[in-house]
């Protein structure tokens, strides 16, 4: 009997490939940022409430009219009671009181050189209804933005938008015979900043179309309210544009997939590193900055 051939070693190409294939490169993800504690806009909320109480105290409807029975809710509020409906249907003070405390009046700003009214009018409200609507909007819009971007950036957007809305109101021809009060310009600025933040941080959103549609609907409904009688839509539009431009400057996030060098362990290198920002983000920032300075 002849001797058999020695067994040949088996060679599995697929298993050999898996043994020699290098391991995939490690994935590095930045830590999820913790939300900021929102305290500035709640403080603005309290300041507006306190300022309205001061306004009603200064107004003193029973003392100024000499007819306490004509003042609304005099039996319950006394000195803080509201002007008659024919004077103020929003349950608030008289126009004279608002003007004394810093309402926006075109004649006083331009001819009287009282530019401080461009800022003081943001803290006054025409009545309880006006105050209630604005404060609900402030908390529902502002708290989320402050938690995401911090008090400094949102505070700057709020003040810039309020100033832009006041300036637009003062320059509008249709407002030269009336006065204007309220934080509506600043609030519309927050809406504008939300929209520009969506555009400049487009890569960070998953449901882009749904988010954009919802935001446009909210902004459109709020702007439509400005066409009602006795509503200063020029302040709304001016505040919205100011906030929209400020959002491109102040609310820019790193794009999706960017990892900072400090979050990469020593000895590792990422070949295809995602840049921190896209070119269009820098372009929008520069254009918005130029428009804010010029406008």
**Residue 155 to residues 7, 123, 186, 205, 219, Cα–Cα distance (Å):** 81, 14, 10, 24, 20
Query: How many Å from the N-terminal Cα to the C-terminal Cα in the chain?
Result: 105
Give dist(CA 183, CA 49) in Å, integer.
Answer: 12
- What is the 8-class DSSP label of residue 127? S
Rounded CA gap, 174 and 153, in Å? Answer: 33
Catalytic residue among 184, 196, 234, 288: 184
| Rounded Cα gap, residues 228 and 256, in angstroms | 42
184 noted as active-site residue:
yes
Chain centroid to CA 140: 10
d(CA 217, CA 119): 29
Nearest alpha-carbon partner for 187 in 119, 228, 134: 134
How far is residue 182 CA from its own chain's centroid?
Answer: 16
Beta-carbon-side half-sphere exposure of residue 51 (alpha carbons within 13 Å): 24
Rg (CA), the chain: 29
Residue 31: phi and psi, rounded to 5, are -65, 150
Q: Smallest Cα–Cα separation from 181: which of 241, 71, 95, 242?
A: 95
Q: Are 192 and 223 within 8 A, CB to CB?
A: no
81, 137, 169, 236: which is the annotated catalytic residue? 236
Instruction: Enumerate the active-site residues.
Output: 184, 236
């Amino acid at each position: 009997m002849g001797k058999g051939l020695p067994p040949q070693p088996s060679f599995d190409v697929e298993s050999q490939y898996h043994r020699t294939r290098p391991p995939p490169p490690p994935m590095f993800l930045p830590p999820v940022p913790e939300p900021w504690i929102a305290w500035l806009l709640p403080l603005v909320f309290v300041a507006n409430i306190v300022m309205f109480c001061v306004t009603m105290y200064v107004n003193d409807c029973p003392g100024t009219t000499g007819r306490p029975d004509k003042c609304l809710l005099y039996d319950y509020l006394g000195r803080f009671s509201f002007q008659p409906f024919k004077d103020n249907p929003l349950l608030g003070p008289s126009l004279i009181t608002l003007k004394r405390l810093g309402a926006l009046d075109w004649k006083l700003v331009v001819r009287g050189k009282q530019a401080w009214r461009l800022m003081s009018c943001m803290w006054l409200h025409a009545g309880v209804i006006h105050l209630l609507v604005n404060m609900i909007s402030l908390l529902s819009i502002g708290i989320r933005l402050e938690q995401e971007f911090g008090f400094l950036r949102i505070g700057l957007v709020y003040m810039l938008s309020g100033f832009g809305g006041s300036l637009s109101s003062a320059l509008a021809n249709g407002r030269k015979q009336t006065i204007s009060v309220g934080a509506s310009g600043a609030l519309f600025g927050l809406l504008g900043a939300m929209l520009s933040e969506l555009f400049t941080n487009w890569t960070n959103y998953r449901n882009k179309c749904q988010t954009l549609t919802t935001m446009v609907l909210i902004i459109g409904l709020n702007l439509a309210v400005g066409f009602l009688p006795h509503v200063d839509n020029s302040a709304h539009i001016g505040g919205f544009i100011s906030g929209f431009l400020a959002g491109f400057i102040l609310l820019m996030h790193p794009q999706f997939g960017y990892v900072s060098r400090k979050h990469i362990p020593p000895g590792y290198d990422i070949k295809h590193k995602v840049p921190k920002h896209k070119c269009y983000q820098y372009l929008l920032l520069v254009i918005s900055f130029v428009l804010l300075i010029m406008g």
